A and B are shown apart, each in its own frame.
Chain A
Amino acid sequence: MAADTASTPAEAAGPVPAGPAAGRPRARSWTGYLRYGAGKLGGAVVSLLAVLVTGFFLFRLIPGDPVRTLTGGRQVSAEQLDEYRREFGLDLPLWEQFTDYCGKALTGDLGTSYQFHAPVIDKITEALPNTLLLTGTAFVLYTALGMYLGTRSAWRHGRLGDRLHTGLALTLYSVPSFWLGLLLIIVFSVGLGPVPGLFPTGGMESGGEEGFGYVLDVAHHLVLPVITLVAVEYGQTLLVTRSALLDEMGSDYLTTARAKGLRDDLVRRRHAVPNALLPTVTLVFVNLGRTVAGVILVETVFSWPGLGGLFYQALSVPDLPLVQGLFLFFAAAVIVMNTLADLLYPLLDPRVGR
């Protein structure tokens, strides 16, 4: 597995251009990358195990009987409580519970939802594509927008445009995503004053559509949630890109590039931006955790049938197996994405992973 993932990028970036640098040892050798990749993968495995352990203890050792929480304060007889204990394996010693839980989690068995009476993993796989659609669209848009505006802001830092963009980004960054979503629904779905209701108030489809009509319908439902997510998330990318590029602004190599007579635009695109890219991409991935939070809220507000909406349904009961399963899933997903990003960095920047 390690060799598989590692070999492709290393080959792709393999040939180092001969030139002044040809005498030096090659910037990144195959084995060097392999060692770097193996280290990152090892770290990821440890992180995933830590998530597994946290998931177990978080929902068991915290004050309060899980069964009591499960029944949500309803009147239940002692026999029923015992029944629940047996059903969820809570009558076993803690150590046995733990090994049992780990074994099941590793085979994809995350328990049974208390609320839906269905396997947690089925609920997750059911909702996952919808979340991927929403998050993916928003992720691409806010990263692109943030990087583009951040670059422009840094290049003209201190000017009016820069001040406006940073100000707007900071403001939107301070706005609670769920509130923005609710406002957008009021203005553009319910309709306010002269504005008619243009978009659906929630959900993912109106039903009854097929083929191309279905695609259009989903896209129609997608507009407001995506706008909300992009609006609250792009500021972070903008600010990081801006400060990364500002760090490069005084560099000698930029003066050299200008002295060569390159157009300003080319200096920015070909020389400054690639060097500022790495800190930006790193932070974009580190901030995925924050994006997960945004997704949970936006899906809740727009009743989007994804993982975030499911999480909200689970925690309002509270349906502990489902909350736990989703906690494991979100954490694992973020760790996996970050590891993928780590493995890609040497492609973006040869200084990494030597």
Chain B
Amino acid sequence: MSTEAARRGPRALARQRRRRSAARFWQQYRTHRAGLLGLAALVLFALVALTAPLTVGSGVSDVTDAPGRPLEAPSGRFPLGTDRFGRDLLGLVVWGSRVSLLVGLLAAVLSVAIGAVVGISAGHFRGAYGTVLMRITDWFLVMPTLVLAIALATVMSRSLGTVVLAIGVTSWPTTARLVRAQTLAVESRPYIERARALGGGHWHVMTRHVLPNVMPLVLAQTTLMVSSSILAEATLAFLGLGDPTVVSWGGLLQDAREAGAVSAGDWWYLVPPGIAIALVALAFTLCGRAVESVLNPRLGVTR
């Protein structure tokens, strides 16, 4: 098998090595009970979100043609009751998962991408450039992220793109710091010197040697970041800064508050969206911590 791969060239060898390390990773991940639980929950949520057009359909968010009376308590027909327009809450929570998950994922990917680019380049080009970049990172790290995101969302138009952008460009500094530290560790290894001696330029070293080595860290960080992005999305929607035309979990909570569900004691209006947010955020956190502890066993995360 390996001679076969060797005959096929370095690409195939690298692919084979990666496949093996992925298998090893899964072997270790499997021993983390909380991580598996989180993964199972995520698969479930992903299925619900992906099949939502089949199970509930986009008509569920239609205000004009609502099936029930406003603010009905849970019953056989509406298992979670109805919202202030008489729409089915169960359907809305299922439908809302699409926006919450989508925005959470996109914002996390944007944030981790910025963090990875900043971290790798700051770790690769040391000296003035790297120093200035890390100073900026530290500044962002201390800044109250949500205040910055709110300020951004306030001055821009109300749309999902704005929300993704506002979360993404404010939450990258942690990733940048982690990736930079890892880049420094990778670049001090002899094989980087070898690559340079063979004529590998900055681009080659960064993309071919550093990037594959920081990828696992980036993956763990993305998983953790999705959880905080989903919370941030819900927060912005709750503050009325989300896209008012789409249904999201945070938006449902804002609706509930505006409809006076709190003072009326309509707990069934408030509980489902909040539980959904908390469960997804928790599931991503559990997965992220499990990935982290597989990659860095010294962290001492409980299994």
Contacts and interface: CB of A to CB of B under 8 A. Distances in A.
A132 to B, nearest CB: 16
28 contacts: A43-B135, A50-B139, A58-B151, A58-B152, A58-B155, A63-B156, A69-B155, A157-B300, A157-B302, A158-B302, A171-B282, A173-B285, A176-B274, A179-B234, A182-B256, A183-B270, A183-B274, A186-B270, A187-B267, A192-B265, A192-B267, A290-B144, A297-B235, A297-B238, A312-B239, A323-B151, A334-B142, A334-B144
Interface in A275-308: 286, 288-290, 292-293, 296-297, 300-301
A178 B253 contact: yes
B157 A243 contact: no
A289 to B, nearest CB: 4
A331 interface: yes
B278 interface: yes
Interface size class of B (residues with CB under 8 A): 35 or more
Interface string A156-189: 0110001100110011011110111011011100
Interface string B279-299: 101100110010000000011
Majority secondary structure, B binding face: helix
A139 interface: no
B191 to A, nearest CB: 29
Interface in A302-327: 311-312, 315-316, 318, 320, 323-324, 326-327
Given A178-B238, A190-B262, A297-B238, 19 more contacts: A51-B143, A64-B157, A158-B302, A173-B285, A176-B231, A176-B234, A179-B270, A183-B274, A186-B262, A286-B142, A289-B143, A289-B147, A292-B146, A293-B146, A296-B147, A311-B147, A315-B150, A323-B151, A323-B154
B235 A64 contact: no
Interface in A45-91: 46-47, 50-51, 58-59, 62-64, 69
B267 A330 contact: no
B265 A330 contact: no
B277 interface: yes
A171 B146 contact: no
A229 interface: no
B248 interface: no
Which among B141, B151, B227, B256 has the greatest number of chain A C-beta atoms within 10 A?
B151
Contacts of A162: 302
In the A-B complex, the 6 residue pairs with the smallest Cβ-Cβ separation, listed nearest first, are A293-B146, A179-B274, A174-B281, A289-B144, A292-B144, A174-B282
Interface of A: 43, 46-47, 50-51, 58-59, 62-64, 69, 157-158, 162-163, 166-167, 170-171, 173-176, 178-180, 182-183, 185-187, 190-192, 201, 243, 246-247, 286, 288-290, 292-293, 296-297, 300-301, 311-312, 315-316, 318, 320, 323-324, 326-327, 330-331, 334-335, 338
B97 to A, nearest CB: 15
A243 B299 contact: yes
A166 B285 CA distance: 12
Contact of B143 (A170, A173, A331): A331
B262 A64 contact: no
A170 B287 CA distance: 12
Interface in B118-160: 135, 139, 141-148, 150-152, 154-157
B302 A318 contact: no
Contact of A179 (B253, B264, B282): B253
Contact of A201 (B250, B263, B267, B270): B263
B300 A243 contact: yes
Given A64-B156, A163-B302, A297-B235, A176 B278 contact: yes
A59 B231 contact: no
Nearest to A318: B154
Nearest to A294: B146
A63 B289 CA distance: 39
Given A64-B156, A186-B265, A316 B253 contact: no
